[in-house]
């Protein structure tokens, strides 16, 4: 499992962000884009106070392009080669777009351009409610926590619930809680299996609780920009966090954990009878791994020397240690969870590849 930051550092960063982030509900007609000759794109929010200007993150540019139905590759080409053309395109469509947008800002940057129906479940509030639940797990160990540009991750393991996959190969029960404040996924609570021998994490995504970020339309009092903190959603949040508590307890229960661990154990009996290189190639094509990732998984498979489906699952999850991007590394842990759910025929395609 890829290491993240310390729990103390996470708490400090969440506290810091509270002071600098703002959410705005803005009619599209009050938004303008200005791009300089160097390709630096900024968003101007026009209002009665003269307007405010923000930088725009790569994700926010992608979301803006999507909202305006401008292909992102073309958006970026205009930004680099014809900035005036980009501004003309974007501002024309903003003026004719009758929708309101939720603009999420942090540190003077627009970090997300979202629908006014976007349901905010913020990282600070989530951590404040969920961390005490996680800390009450027996001998809870925060194995990895991180805050990336798109998501927050809390990965916790408890040694009180264990299972021996093979002699000396012990896995422990855990939980992973993820959330995105910028429209990059739902809030989810998923069981985690932690393999002691190599510190691999496997996420059982099929048993997840998910909360989508969609709610009622947020109506401002006037046509101009509105900066808000909507306290009316607090009761709904409280009810949801009670569900989170129940799901956390269920995810690390002996019954749930044993079911996932036994699915892992069954892959021991599936041998890679074909060409291991071809097996990894089929895997890479099916799950869209790039050349570097394909080579990394193959390398792990060869190093471990376990030419079975179990060996392939562990090669995938162990490769997450080597992935620089934390979000992508977590996707490899979730890919391990997808693999143990494959049917016999699907495993046949992988195992017998030649």
Residues 65 and 128 in one domain: no
Kindly state the average pLDDT of the residues 131-138.
Answer: 86
Kindly state the average pLDDT of the residues 267-288.
Answer: 95
Structural domain includes residue 129: yes
Residues 256 and 128 in one domain: yes
Residue of 280, 170, 186, 313 lying closest to 240 (CA atoms):
186
The string of pLDDT tens digits covering residues 15-33 is 999 889 988 888 999 999 9
| 136 secondary structure, DSSP code | T
Residues 111 and 131 in one domain: no
Residues 138 and 205 in one domain: yes
Which position has the higher pLDDT, 221 or 152? 152
Residues 109 and 133 in one domain: no
Domain final position from 70, 99, 115: 115
Structural domain includes residue 64: yes
What's the pLDDT score for residue 225? Answer: 44
Kindly state the average pLDDT of the residues 119-126.
Answer: 84
Confidence of residue 244 (pLDDT cuts 50, 70, 90): confident
d(CA 104, CA 18): 12
- Label the pairing between strands 209-211 and 187-195: antiparallel
Residues 110 and 143 in one domain: no
Residue of 54, 48, 78, 73 lying closest to 62 (CA atoms):
73
Number of domains in the chain: 3
Kindly state the average pLDDT of the residues 321-342.
Answer: 95
Query: Are 130 and 244 a contacting pair, CB within 8 Å?
Result: yes
Domain final position from 90, 115, 140: 115
Task: Give residue 183's region: left, alpha or beta (phi > 0; psi -120 to 50).
Answer: left
The string of pLDDT tens digits covering residues 302-322 is 999 999 999 999 999 999 999
**Residue indicated by tokens 């929708």:** 99
- Gyration radius of the chain over CA positions: 23
Residues 100 and 193 in one domain: no
pLDDT reading at 47 higher than 80: no
The string of pLDDT tens digits covering residues 60-107 is 999 999 999 999 999 999 999 999 999 999 999 999 988 899 999 999
| 183 secondary structure, DSSP code | S
Residues 110 and 132 in one domain: no
Residues 108 and 127 in one domain: no
pLDDT reading at 294 higher than 80: yes
What's the pLDDT score for residue 221? Answer: 42
What's the pLDDT score for residue 46? Answer: 86
Confidence of residue 116 (pLDDT cuts 50, 70, 90): confident
What's the pLDDT score for residue 211? Answer: 59
255-264, 283-292, 311-320: which range is least confident on average?
Answer: 255-264
Query: Are 113 and 101 a contacting pair, CB within 8 Å?
Result: yes
Residues 159 and 181 in one domain: yes
Query: Are 39 and 82 a contacting pair, CB within 8 Å?
Result: no
What's the pLDDT score for residue 48? Answer: 53
Structural domain includes residue 28: yes
How many CA atoms lie within 13 Å of 341's alpha carbon, on the beta-carbon side? Answer: 11
For 63, other C-beta atoms within 10 Å of its C-beta total 24
What's the pLDDT score for residue 236? Answer: 64
Structural domain includes residue 222: no
Q: Give the helix/strand (H/E) hosting 308.
A: none
What's the pLDDT score for residue 206? Answer: 67
Residues 71 and 129 in one domain: no
Query: Are 339 and 268 a contacting pair, CB within 8 Å?
Result: no
pLDDT reading at 337 higher than 90: yes
Give the three-state DSSP class for 27: strand
- Where helices occur in the chain by DSSP H, the ranges are 7-20, 58-67, 72-81, 83-96, 123-135, 234-251, 254-266, 276-286, 291-304, 309-319, 326-339, 344-351
pLDDT above 90: percentage of residues in the chain: 66
**Residue indicated by tokens 């003026």:** 95
Which domain covers residue 62, as residue numbers? Answer: 21-115
321 to each of 6, 289, 328, how far by Cα in Å?
Answer: 17, 16, 11
For 163, other C-beta atoms within 10 Å of its C-beta total 18
Within its chain, how far is the Cα of 101 from the centroid? 22
pLDDT reading at 41 higher than 50: yes
Confidence of residue 215 (pLDDT cuts 50, 70, 90): very low
Q: What is the mean pLDDT of the chain?
A: 88
Confidence of residue 353 (pLDDT cuts 50, 70, 90): confident
What's the pLDDT score for residue 121? Answer: 81
Query: Are 120 and 23 a contacting pair, CB within 8 Å?
Result: yes
Give the three-state DSSP class for 141: strand
What are the strands of the beta sheet with 22-27, ordered from one edge?
A: 31-35, 41-45, 52-56, 109-115, 100-106, 22-27, 226-227
Residues 127 and 253 in one domain: yes
What's the pLDDT score for residue 165? Answer: 95
Confidence of residue 130 (pLDDT cuts 50, 70, 90): confident
Confidence of residue 251 (pLDDT cuts 50, 70, 90): confident
What's the pLDDT score for residue 31? Answer: 94
What's the pLDDT score for residue 218? Answer: 45
Instruction: Work out the burial of residue 181: count CB atoms within 10 Å of its CB; fewer than 13 is exposed, 13-18 middle, 19 or more buried.
Output: buried
Q: In the chain, what is the straight-line distance between the N-terminal and C-terminal CA atoms, in Å?
A: 31
What's the pLDDT score for residue 229? Answer: 45
Domain final position from 96, 115, 134: 115
Structural domain includes residue 16: no
């Amino acid at each position: 499992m890829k290491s993240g930051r310390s729990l103390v550092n996470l708490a400090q960063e969440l506290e810091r962000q509270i002071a600098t982030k703002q959410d705005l509900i803005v009619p599209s007609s009050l938004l303008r884009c200005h791009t300089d000759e160097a390709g630096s794109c900024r968003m101007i929010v026009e209002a009665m106070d003269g307007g405010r200007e923000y930088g725009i993150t790569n994700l926010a540019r992608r979301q803006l392009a999507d909202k305006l139905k401008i292909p992102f590759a073309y958006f970026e080409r205009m930004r680099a080669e014809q900035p005036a053309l980009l501004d003309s395109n974007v501002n024309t469509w903003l003026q004719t777009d009758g929708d309101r947008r939720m603009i999420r800002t942090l540190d003077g940057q627009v970090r997300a351009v979202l629908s006014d129906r976007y349901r905010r479940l913020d990282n600070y509030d989530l951590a404040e409610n969920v961390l005490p639940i996680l800390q009450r797990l027996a001998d809870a160990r925060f194995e990895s926590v991180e805050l990336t540009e798109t998501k927050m991750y809390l990965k916790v393991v408890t040694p009180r619930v264990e299972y021996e996959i093979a002699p000396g190969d012990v896995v422990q029960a855990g939980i992973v809680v993820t959330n995105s404040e910028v429209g990059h996924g739902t809030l989810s609570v998923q069981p985690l299996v932690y393999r002691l021998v190599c510190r691999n994490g496997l996420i059982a995504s099929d048993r997840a609780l998910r909360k989508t970020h969609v709610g009622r339309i947020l109506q401002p009092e006037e046509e101009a920009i509105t900066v808000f903190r909507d306290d009316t959603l607090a009761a709904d949040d409280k009810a949801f966090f009670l569900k989170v508590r129940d799901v956390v307890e269920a995810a690390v229960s002996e019954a749930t954990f044993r079911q996932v661990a036994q699915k892992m154990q069954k892959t021991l009996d599936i041998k890679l009878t074909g060409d291991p290189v071809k097996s990894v190639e089929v895997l890479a094509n099916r799950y869209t791994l790039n050349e570097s990732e394909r080579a990394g998984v193959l390398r792990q498979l060869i190093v471990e020397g376990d030419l079975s489906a179990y060996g392939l699952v562990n090669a995938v999850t162990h490769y997450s240690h080597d992935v620089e991007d934390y979000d992508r590394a977590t996707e490899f842990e979730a890919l391990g969870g997808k693999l143990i759910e494959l049917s016999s025929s699907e495993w046949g395609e992988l195992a017998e590849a030649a």
